[in-house]
Amino acid sequence: MRKNLIFIFVILAACTQEPAQQVVDSTARKEREYIRAIEGEDEELDIGIITRGEVLISYSDCAECHRNDKRAKGPAFQDIAKRYPIKQVYIDLLARKVISGGKGSWGSPIMSPHPDVKEEDAKAMVSYILSLEE
């Protein structure tokens, strides 16, 4: 009797699963909606600024909320790079968000303000983030 119940449960579980393609399409759609990429051509970044930004991030508290390749409390740096084209206007915008904090851009997480970060340093940090690729 027990084997029959297990067999019936396995059959029912198999019949109620979504086809694999629907799961893949659903996952891709959720990622697109989460990232909401902004169209635009990338501008070239200075490698020295990118390197400086990487060093500044490594000595900051960014890792408390962000990871390079996966979400934590906040979005992954690579997801941020997918959303924003490398343009000075977005570097300036995101640098201001680093300094003043923000909310709502990535759902419910709140970006803590970092008023002690100099604007030039915040721009270097953002430049590094936007330079990241998968």
Provide the whole-model pTM: 0.77
Distance of alpha carbon 115 from alpha carbon 124, whole angstroms: 16
- The H-or-E segment that residue 29 falls in is helix 20-35
CA-to-CA dists, residue 20 to 10, 17, 27, 59, 100, angstroms: 17, 9, 11, 42, 43
* Interval 72-101 mean pLDDT: 96
Q: pLDDT category, 12, cuts 50, 70, 90?
A: low
Query: Pseudo-torsion of CA 100, 103, 105, 106, nearest 10°?
Result: 120
Residue in 49, 113, 61, 55 with CA at minimum distance from that of residue 86: 49
Q: What is the pLDDT of residue 5?
A: 46
- Angle, helix 119-131 to helix 47-58, in steps of 10 degrees: 100
Cα–Cα separations (whole angstroms), residue 21 to 15, 30, 45: 15, 14, 38
> What is residue 43's predicted lDDT score, i.e. its pLDDT?
94
The pLDDT tens digits of the residues spanning 17-64 come to 555 555 456 677 777 788 899 999 999 999 999 999 999 999 999 999
Looking at residue 109, what is its pLDDT?
Answer: 85
- Can you give the pLDDT at residue 35? 86
Q: Convert the pLDDT of each residue in 90-111 to its tens digit.
A: 999 999 999 999 898 888 889 9
